[in-house]
Amino acid sequence: MSHLTSHHTLPPFPEGEKTAPLVSVSFAKLEAGERSASAAFFKACKELGFFYLDFLGSKLGETIVSEAEKLNKIQKEFFALPNEVKDVYGRPHLHPFYAYRYTETEGKDENGASLRNANYNLRKDDILGQCERLACHPMILDNQALFEDYVRHCRAAVNILLEHLNTHLELPAGTLANLHRINERSGDHVRFTQNQPHAFDEERARRAEHTDFGSLTVLFNWLGGLQIRTPDTNEWVYVRPIPGSCIVNLGDAMVKFTAGILRSNIHRVVPAPSTQAHLTRNSLVFFTRPEDAVILKRLQGGIIDAQPQSSEPEAEMTSHDWIMKRGTGQLPGIFTSKGFEERVYDAPSHIAPSRSIPA
Ligand SMILES: O=C(O)CCC(=O)C(=O)O
Ligand SMILES: [Fe+2]
């Protein structure tokens, strides 16, 4: 039997582990405009802000899945490079956000070099040649066509999701699409991530809690470790990876645009559960953000107009400023539909912001 993904090469996610109640939405059905799939999608965006997007049976979807597999191989090669090679592409000298970032762990590799938890953010506008390109490792340039295809395909899928949201929100046609035009500058990016295995540590888990800043996130992971806090019980539960599906979650921008109709749920990455806990964990993320110049505030029209008005004036910030401030620890806390929730460890004396790798 041929496999579209590499999940079968890894120990399975353990049976009996409590998992998050994500619904699965068929992308092929959304592409076909099927009403019941569209309704289930909108419900998931309002109630949990997280769902599986089942790509099987869709040409575009299966293409994205196979590209994600190729990029996962590339990210493993990238993270296996000597630390000093990766550091050339690191923050802060390259860029405060679109760069390689890491935290050191106590582990060492066979050459005695420190093992790291790391991520590498690669801008959509660099990949599509829409700005002066930041320096990146030759491995990225050698795979330029793959990166470009991946960005275009993820964006095509995201556009379909935005179109369905636009309809359910009863916004004038094209409202959300016009805030996310692919050829305009935005904070969209591909992220490689790698985490070393470690024992569960409550403080570290708390430090990892976050919401995503942007609009929609397309996430592939191969091992457990992602957890969401369920809105009804406030319990942290694992999200089981499903071969052929990505995990989609909504970010802060969608909460702001819809005055809280849509949900950006808090989540975090902790060690993979029992059967997988000894493995180095990678995930591949595509973040969609509104265009840089878009002001993040409630949109006018449709069912958003019926949402209560906030009594406090909204601080108006462009998408670009929001992402840079959130991404570099200048706007700490967890953003919810009620505004910011301060986190215990955001207190300045506790842990330096650079110790957590923000979304
Ligand atoms: O690695 C994962 O599964 C999730 C990563 C994540 O939440 C993020 O990078 O914002
Ligand atoms: Fe995230």
Token pair listed for 351: 């842990």
- Which residue did the predictor score with more confidence, 29 or 353? 29
Give me ligand 1 centre to Cα 312, in Å: 32
Per-residue burial over 58-72, b = 16 or more CB atoms within 10 Å of its CB, e = otherwise: bebbbbbbebbbebb
Lateral strand order in the sheet of 267-269: 236-238, 226-229, 267-269
Enumerate residues 6+ apart whose C-beta is below 8 A from 47: 231, 263
Q: Relative to the alpha carbon of 221, which ligand is closest? A: 1
The verdict on whether omega for the bond into residue 82 sits within 30 degrees of 0, i.e. cis, is no
Confidence class for position 358, pLDDT limits 50, 70, 90: low
Whether 348 has a pLDDT exceeding 90, the answer reads no
The residue whose C-alpha atom lies closest to atom 10 belonging to ligand 1 is 359
Q: Which of 15-19, 111-115, 133-137 has the lowest mean pLDDT?
A: 111-115
**Bridge partner list, 24:** 52
Q: Which residue has the higher pLDDT, 324 or 85?
A: 85
ipTM strictly over 0.85?
yes
Mutate to test the pocket of ligand 1, among 250, 283, 288, 326 (most ligand atoms within 8 A of CB): 283
Report DSSP state, residue 285: E
pLDDT category of residue 343 using cuts at 50, 70 and 90: low
Q: Tell me, in angstroms, the distance from the centre of ligand 1 to residue 226's CA.
A: 7
Q: Has this prediction a pTM greater than 0.90?
A: yes
**Euclidean distance between CA atoms 359 and 357, whole angstroms:** 7
**Least confident among 47-56, 101-110, 122-131, 154-163:** 101-110
Give 357's pLDDT tier (boundaries 50, 70, 90).
low
* C-alpha of residue 205 to centroid of ligand 2, in Å: 13
The pLDDT of residue 311 is above 90: no
pLDDT (0 to 100) of residue 336? 67
Q: How many Cβ atoms are within 10 Å of 6's Cβ, its own excluded?
A: 13
Distance from the Cα of residue 309 to its chain's centroid: 29
The predicted-structure confidence for 145-157, as pLDDT tens digits, reads as follows 999 999 999 999 9
Is 90 exceeded by the pLDDT of residue 334? no
Q: Supply the residue whose CA is at minimum distance from atom 7 of ligand 1.
A: 268
Q: Which residue has the higher pLDDT, 305 or 353?
A: 305
Pocket of ligand 1 (CB under 6 A): 191, 193, 212, 219, 221, 226, 267, 269, 283, 285, 359
Give dist(CA 263, CA 259) in Å, integer: 10
Q: Are 343 and 206 in contact (CB under 8 A)?
A: yes
> By alpha-carbon position, which residue is closest to atom 1 of ligand 1?
283
| Ligand 1 mean position, distance from CA 88 (Å) | 24
Return the higher-pLDDT residue of 153 and 109: 153
* pLDDT, tens digit, 9 for 90 and up, residues 243-290: 999 999 999 999 999 999 999 999 999 999 999 999 999 999 999 999
DSSP secondary structure code for residue 318 in this structure: B
**β pairing state of 189-195 and 236-238:** unpaired
Q: How far is the CA of 279 from the centre of ligand 2 (A)?
A: 20
CA of 101 to the centre of ligand 2 (A): 15
Q: What is the pLDDT of residue 356?
A: 47
Atom of ligand 1 nearest to the CA of 283: 1
Quote the CA–CA distance of 188 and 291 in Å, as a whole number: 8
Q: What's the CA angle centered on 224, arms 223 and 229, to 5 degrees?
A: 150
